[in-house]
Amino acid sequence: MQVVFIGVRTQPGTIKPEEEGERHPYSLIDCAAQREAILPYVLFIQKTLRRRPFLIKSLENVMRKFLQSLEFFEENERQKLAIFTALAFSQKLSGLPPETVFQPLLKDNLVAKGIVLSFITEFFKEYLKENSLDDLIALLKKGKMEDNLLEFFPSGKRTSEALSEHFTKEGLTSLVEYNSKKMFEVKLKEIKSTLTTMINEEAEISEVTEVVKQQVKDAKFPDIEVVRMLWDVLMEAVQWSGKNQQQNSNSALRQVNAWAGLMNAFCTSGKLELELIYKVQTQCYEDAKLMKLFPEIIRSLYDQDVLAEDTILLWFRKGSNQKGRQSFVKALEPFVKWLEEAEEEE
Condensed to tens digits (0 to 9), the pLDDT of residues 275-301 reads 999 999 999 999 988 889 999 999 999
Q: Are 208 and 152 in a shared domain?
A: no
Q: How many domains does the chain have?
A: 2
Please state, in angstroms and rounded to a whole number, the distance separating the CA atoms of residues 233 and 256: 11
pTM of the model: 0.73
Among residues 234, 300, 312, the alpha carbon closest in space to that of 266 is found at 234
Q: Are 214 and 71 in a shared domain?
A: no
Q: Are 35 and 94 in a shared domain?
A: yes
Q: Answer yes or no: is 36 within a domain.
A: yes
Q: Answer yes or no: is 285 within a domain.
A: yes
Give me the phi and psi of 17, to 5 degrees please: -60, 150
Q: Are 299 and 160 in a shared domain?
A: no
Q: Answer yes or no: is 307 within a domain.
A: yes
Domain-ending residue, one of 171, 198, 223:
171
Neighbours of 333 (CB within 10 A): 12
Q: Answer yes or no: is 264 within a domain.
A: yes
Q: Answer yes or no: is 176 within a domain.
A: no
Angle at 39 between CA 37 and CA 40, to 5 degrees: 85
Q: Are 188 and 333 in a shared domain?
A: yes
Confidence of residue 18 (pLDDT cuts 50, 70, 90): very low
Q: Are 243 and 290 in a shared domain?
A: yes
The domain in which residue 331 lies consists of 183-345
Confidence of residue 10 (pLDDT cuts 50, 70, 90): low
Q: Answer yes or no: is 206 within a domain.
A: yes
Condensed to tens digits (0 to 9), the pLDDT of residues 94-135 reads 667 888 888 889 999 999 999 999 999 999 999 999 999 999
Q: Are 204 and 104 in a shared domain?
A: no
Among residues 270, 342, 345, 254, the alpha carbon closest in space to that of 310 is found at 270
The per-residue pLDDT of the chain, averaged, comes to 89
Domain-ending residue, one of 171, 203, 236:
171
Q: Are 303 and 330 in a shared domain?
A: yes
Condensed to tens digits (0 to 9), the pLDDT of residues 214-268 reads 999 988 899 999 999 999 999 999 988 767 888 888 999 999 999 999 999 999 9
Helical packing angle, 270-286 and 223-236, nearest 10°: 40
Q: Are 199 and 317 in a shared domain?
A: yes
Q: Answer yes or no: is 178 within a domain.
A: no
Q: Are 166 and 305 in a shared domain?
A: no
Q: Are 296 and 151 in a shared domain?
A: no
Domain-ending residue, one of 126, 145, 171:
171
Q: Are 143 and 231 in a shared domain?
A: no
Higher pLDDT, 130 or 345: 130
Please state, in angstroms and rounded to a whole number, the distance separating the CA atoms of residues 155 and 292: 54
Q: Answer yes or no: is 191 within a domain.
A: yes
Q: What is the CATH number of the domain that holds 329?
A: 1.25.40.180
